[in-house]
Amino acid sequence: MAKSTKENFMDKKLSRRKMLKMTGASAAGVAIGASGLGGVLKAFGVPQWLDDDTSVENKVNFYGKHQSGIATEVQSHVYFASLSVLVKSKAELQELFKMWTPLAVSLMNGQQIGETTNGHIPPIDTGEAVGVDAKNLSITFGVGPSLFSNKDLGLSQLKPTELNDLPHFPKDQLEEAYTGGDMCIQACADDPQVAFHAVRNLVRAASGKVSVNWTQAGYNSIPVNKEGKRETPRNLFAFKDGTENPRSDKAMNDVVWIQNGESKPWMTNGSYLIVRRIQMHLETWDRTSLKAQEETFGRYRHNGAPFGKQHEFDAVDEQRKDDAGNYVVPETSHVFLARQVKARIMRRAFSYASGVMDHTGAYDAGLLFISFQKDPQQFTDIQNALGRLDKMNEYITHRGSGVFACFPGIKKGSYIGEALFNA
Ligand code: HEM
């Protein structure tokens, strides 16, 4: 029989207690208020909170060679936050990441970040994720170029040369409200509230140390086939999005994971996250014939197969010409152009729909494009290849942008970003 919400809650409380006991923090835990949380964790150093509790369902591990949320199979929701730092020294910044580490472990374990026994103070955890399992929550932390130019922090020597704001691309209409950031938190989960809860509680625990710069929620409808395997989700143009992506370990090492010597040593096993908030002009798209829609990508809408092929994962042959000498995959299609450069990236995008645009009444909807690569130049090369030619330009406008250096994975006993602080 399925457990009641209350029983599940009690289970969580129990394993939470177990965990506090293991870290030796139980006595102090009773008295922690949201504002005092950092202090208590500081007093105990960085506890080695465990993430291998096999009783937790639908859980992504926190510790590992790489951060979660990059190679992790894409979840159905994202809550992405760009943050500004308010701390005034490198030591305070380091404390912030130390404080966040056990909280991120708890959140990814499907647990609350703290237990509240004193009814006269605000609850430590905001509570809206109680009663559900871990929902495959992944949390990815990154730092932006502006963090390294912040004089108070004294990190300028550690800035990787490749970490810069992206250049201006033709047709960009970036809005400050969705651009930049000293840091980012990408929380992905198979539940929108779990993803939001993670960011909300991390930001709340860091009150006075960070402020939220901009955020965007996004989603994917992930079809599951008869064998129970997740299939490629469709974007709001109804095309399968994410088909051509690096998947093997070799491809991930070639495209995504920074190898020793390829960047600043502290970025080894890390990656760069690029986020673009791209409005999709659904009204125009919806007036476009199916044939023209398919020519926009060079793939068929119904099954995602490339032009001239049968199945979604059949290799794209962009060199192939028909009897009349025309390219089978149209020369102005998104896929043809994206393949004109050697650079590859790993895309992990989500759709968004956030009301209507001011004045026009058009949907403010589109793609929260997120890609990972070992050098932001890989993205820039592809975006330049798409340039002004991409047939998809008629239907999209880039409105937001960010680039973040995502730390390597976290070893047990260590903390988020340790490689940077120990560099
Ligand atoms: C709203 C914006 C976008 C939409 C709707 C979109 C949609 C698509 C679709 C449907 C495909 C074909 C299926 C697949 O392989 O996933 C595709 C492929 C691809 N897209 Fe996009 N895309 C967008 C923006 C971008 C941007 C900004 C970039 C990078 C600068 C990009 C890079 C790529 C690449 C590299 C491929 C794979 C091409 C290949 O090797 O076959 N896309 N995109």
Predicted confidence band at 3 (pLDDT cuts at 50, 70, 90)? very low
CA distances from 137 to 2, 105, 186, 398 (A): 22, 10, 10, 28
- Ligand 1 atom, smallest distance to 280 CA: 1
Predicted confidence band at 54 (pLDDT cuts at 50, 70, 90)? confident
For ligand 1, whether the C-beta of 407 sits within 6 Å is no
Predicted confidence band at 24 (pLDDT cuts at 50, 70, 90)? very low
| Strand 363-373 to 271-280 pairing | antiparallel
* Ligand 1 mean position, distance from CA 335 (Å): 7
- Ligand 1 atom, smallest distance to 318 CA: 41
| Residue-level pLDDT at 358 | 79
User: What does residue 112 show for φ and ψ, rounded to 5 degrees?
Assistant: -75, 160
- Ligand 1 atom, smallest distance to 242 CA: 16
Closest CA to 270 of 96, 75, 404, 73: 404
Rounded-to-integer distance, Cα 190 and Cα 421, Å? 32
- Ligand 1 atom, smallest distance to 241 CA: 16
pLDDT tops 90 at residue 74: yes
* Ligand 1 mean position, distance from CA 369 (Å): 9
For ligand 1, whether the C-beta of 329 sits within 6 Å is no
Residue 6, SS3 per DSSP = helix
Residue range 231-243: mean pLDDT, rounded: 98
Residue range 53-65: mean pLDDT, rounded: 89
For ligand 1, whether the C-beta of 383 sits within 6 Å is yes
* Segment 154-206, tens digit of pLDDT: 999 999 999 999 999 999 999 999 999 999 999 999 999 999 999 999 999 99
Please work out, in degrees rounded to the nearest 5, the angle formed at the alpha carbon of residue 343 by the alpha carbons of 341 and 349.
110
Residues 6+ apart with CB under 8 A from 298: 306, 307, 316, 318, 329, 330, 333, 334, 335, 336
* Ligand 1 mean position, distance from CA 243 (Å): 9
Least confident of 14-28, 97-111, 152-166: 14-28
Residue range 226-238: mean pLDDT, rounded: 96
pLDDT tops 90 at residue 89: yes
* Ligand 1 mean position, distance from CA 69 (Å): 19
- Compute the 3-state secondary structure of the chain and give helix, strand, coil in percent, each to the nearest 5: 30, 20, 50
For ligand 1, whether the C-beta of 318 sits within 6 Å is no
Burial of 387 (0-12, 13-18, 19+ CB in 10 A): middle
| Residue-level pLDDT at 302 | 98
Q: Are 240 and 232 in contact (CB under 8 A)?
A: yes
Query: What's the chain's Rg over C-alpha atoms?
Result: 22
- Ligand 1 atom, smallest distance to 379 CA: 30
* Ligand 1 mean position, distance from CA 231 (Å): 17
| Residue-level pLDDT at 55 | 78
* Ligand 1 mean position, distance from CA 334 (Å): 7
Q: Whose CA is nearest to atom 14 of ligand 1?
A: 243
| Residue-level pLDDT at 37 | 53
For ligand 1, whether the C-beta of 106 sits within 6 Å is no
Q: Whose CA is nearest to atom 19 of ligand 1?
A: 335
* Segment 402-417, tens digit of pLDDT: 999 999 999 999 999 9
Q: Whose CA is nearest to atom 18 of ligand 1?
A: 335
Residue range 70-85: mean pLDDT, rounded: 98
Q: For a substitution probing ligand 1, which of 369, 383, 389, 403 has the most ligand atoms within 8 Å of its CB?
A: 369
- Ligand 1 atom, smallest distance to 395 CA: 1
Q: For a substitution probing ligand 1, which of 74, 232, 244, 294 has the most ligand atoms within 8 Å of its CB?
A: 244
| Residue-level pLDDT at 48 | 53
Q: What percent of the chain has pLDDT over 70?
A: 88
* Ligand 1 mean position, distance from CA 381 (Å): 13
Q: Whose CA is nearest to atom 26 of ligand 1?
A: 383
For ligand 1, whether the C-beta of 33 sits within 6 Å is no
For the chain, give the mean pLDDT: 90
Rounded-to-integer distance, Cα 366 and Cα 349, Å? 10
| Residue-level pLDDT at 56 | 83
For ligand 1, whether the C-beta of 396 sits within 6 Å is yes
The domain ranges of the chain are 56-90+135-423
AA letter at 276: R
For ligand 1, whether the C-beta of 338 sits within 6 Å is yes
User: What does residue 328 show for φ and ψ, rounded to 5 degrees?
Assistant: -65, -45
| Residue-level pLDDT at 286 | 98
Residue range 218-230: mean pLDDT, rounded: 95
Q: Whose CA is nearest to atom 38 of ligand 1?
A: 335
**Within a 10 A sphere around the Cβ of 250, how many other Cβ atoms?**
9
Rounded-to-integer distance, Cα 228 and Cα 315, Å? 24
| Residue-level pLDDT at 34 | 42
* Segment 260-302, tens digit of pLDDT: 999 999 999 999 999 999 999 999 999 999 999 999 999 999 9
